[in-house]
Copies of this chain bind each other. A is one copy, B any other.
Amino acid sequence: MKQVKIPEATIGRLSFYSRFLTKLENDGIETVSSGEIAKGIAGNSAQVRKDFAYFGGFGKRGVGYNVADLNRNIKEILGLNREWKAVIVGMGNLGRALAYYHGFAARGFRIIGLFDNNPSKKGEKINNLEIQDASELENFLEKNPVDIAILTLPGETVQFVVDRVVKKGVKGILNFAPVVVFTEKDVQVRNVDLSVNLEILSYNLNSK
């Protein structure tokens, strides 16, 4: 295996593969072929094999892949063999929904702090975590190192909060507001945009 650049699209698919494999594991299935994986995630078998080949290949020719092994390898590649600590800033409806969302914990992301700048929300409990006032953010991050900040904030306030959490060592940002975030380049930013997807739907529906 030579060390080449991994397409970001491949990383995204690894995440799908892993969840599909977890389902297979739960069903007690031990072996799976690239074709079956492709069917499970609506992809193409050559692509599945190529994706794995970037990391050296995990299969047996003529047989397929061992489900548990493969899943363990993928999780390790994705960095899911450790726990990632995250905070959510902005406890509006979306922030709350994410605080309750089980999918994160199931994949190793632990939410350890919730913040909002509205004093009337302070102390409210969500999933055994108390909402803290946004002014506590720096203080909290100093005592509790955090890897990722999930920002469910109005667009105007996002950059301000990004600067604050980055200064306290946060290295990953998951931003839900439709604004561009600027940071040092060693900080990873991912944007989730709810409207874009509806607008692509709109375009596709319209041009039929």
Contact = CB atoms under 8 A, between A and B. Distances in A.
Interface of A: 8, 11-12, 14-16, 18-19, 40-42, 77-80, 84, 86, 92-94, 96-98, 100-101, 103-104, 107-109, 147-148, 171-172, 174, 178, 180, 182, 186, 188, 190, 192-208
Interface of A is mostly: helix
Copies in the complex: 2
A57 B204 CA distance: 21
10 contacts: A14-B203, A16-B193, A19-B195, A42-B180, A79-B205, A104-B194, A147-B205, A148-B201, A190-B198, A192-B194
Given A40-B180, A98-B194, A190-B201, 4 more contacts: A11-B203, A92-B97, A94-B97, A171-B208
Nearest to A96: B93
A43 B37 CA distance: 35
Contact of A93 (B11, B12, B18, B97): B97
Interface centre among A8, A77, A192, A203 (most CB of B within 10 A): A203
Contact of A203 (B78, B178, B195): B78
A159 to B, nearest CB: 12
Contacts of A11: 199-200, 203-204
A41 B206 CA distance: 25
Contact of A78 (B93, B101, B202): B202
Contacts of A84: 198, 202, 205
A35 to B, nearest CB: 15
Interface centre among A94, A201, A208 (most CB of B within 10 A): A201
Given A40-B180, A147-B205, A178-B19, A78 B199 contact: yes
